[in-house]
Amino acid sequence: MDHAQDWLLFEDNIGESLSIDETCLSSGEVYTFLTNKAGKGRKGTLVAVVKGTKAEDVIQVLKKINLSKRKTVKEITLDLSSSMMRIARAVFPKALITNDRFHVQKLYYDALDDMRIAYRWTARDKENEEIKEAKCKGKEYIPFRYSNGDTRKQLLARAKIILTKHKTKWTETQKGRAQIIFEHYPTLKRHMIWL
């Protein structure tokens, strides 16, 4: 058991559907965990734990599991890490690789939020020009407001919540705001997958 600080294997816990992920423990060290989904977090869930995430090191440890057992794995779920992808392909040759939906959703929300932020910068620039124009004319600047009372910048700042919630979870105020957002920013509406 000299290796126990670097890796542990419980190959009898292997099943058809596995998950692989990295986790930082309280000591600050990062470990790769291979778990059996059928175990549902109880006894028999842990298949392996390997210190670090370097693909070569993890592959070397996981290949200690008998090949015939590794070939019984039908699916392995992982995040979008290229290291985890490489490990899964090398160790479980017959397994279907599934990307964890939470990581995919995060990428989607980040892209949608980048669009919202770009529109907000444009709105800010437009407001700055309108302020400058009003100042040149010696007039008081009164910002444009939508029918709900939001300025362009406010509307786009408040859009973040709307863009990350399913429309069935919107409040009445959010429904009204969404209608204004999608009327004035149709590109955001086109990229909403649940509308």
Q: Could you give the strand order of the β-sheet that contains 30-36, starting from the edge strand earlier in sequence? A: 7-9, 46-51, 30-36, 17-24, 75-78, 96-99
Tell whether 21 is covered by a domain.
Answer: yes
Q: Mean pLDDT, to the nearest integer, of 151-175? A: 92
- Going from the C-alpha of 34 to that of each of 60, 67, 125, 133, 145, the distances in angstroms are 14, 16, 50, 62, 53
pLDDT digits (tens, 9 = 90+) for 4-28: 678 999 989 999 999 999 888 877 8
Whether pLDDT at 195 is above 60: no
- Please indicate, yes or no, whether residues 120 and 77 belong to a single structural domain of this protein: no
Distance CA 170, CA 89 (A): 41
Which of 99, 114, 140 is at the close of a domain?
A: 99
Q: How confident is the model at residue 103 (pLDDT cuts 50, 70, 90)?
A: confident
List the alpha helices (DSSP H) in 54-171. Answer: 55-62, 67-70, 82-91, 101-136, 152-164
Domain of residue 14 covers 2-99
Shared domain check, 44 and 28: yes
Q: What is the mean pLDDT of residues 120-130?
A: 96
Q: How many CA atoms lie within 13 A of 164 on its CB side?
A: 15
Same domain, 95 and 109: no
Same domain, 128 and 115: yes
Tokens of 60: 């070397």
Give the Cα separation of 16 and 4 in Å (integer). 25
Number of domains in the chain: 2
Statement: residue 194 has pLDDT above 70: no
Q: Tell me what the mean pLDDT of segment 91-110 comes to.
A: 86
Give the integer Cα–Cα distance in Å for 125 and 104: 32
In a domain, 61, yes or no: yes
Q: CA-CA distance, 84 to 93, in Å (whole number)?
A: 14
- Tell which of 99, 115, 138 closes a domain: 99
The dihedral region occupied by 21, where left means phi > 0, alpha psi between -120 and 50, and beta the remainder, is beta
Classify residue 195: in a domain, yes or no: no
* Rg from Cα positions in the chain: 25
Tell me, what's the pLDDT at 25? 80
pLDDT band for position 2 (cuts 50, 70, 90): low
Same domain, 106 and 84: no
Decide: 16 and 73 in contact? Cβ < 8 Å. Answer: yes
More confident site: 175 or 99: 175
- 100 — pLDDT class (breaks 50, 70, 90): confident
Do 137 and 184 lie in a common domain? yes
Nearest to 120 by CA among 61, 59, 185, 70: 185
Interval 72-94 mean pLDDT = 93
Pair 6, 84 in one domain: yes
Domain boundary (79, 99, 119) is at: 99
Q: How far apart are CA 164 and CA 18, in angstroms?
A: 29
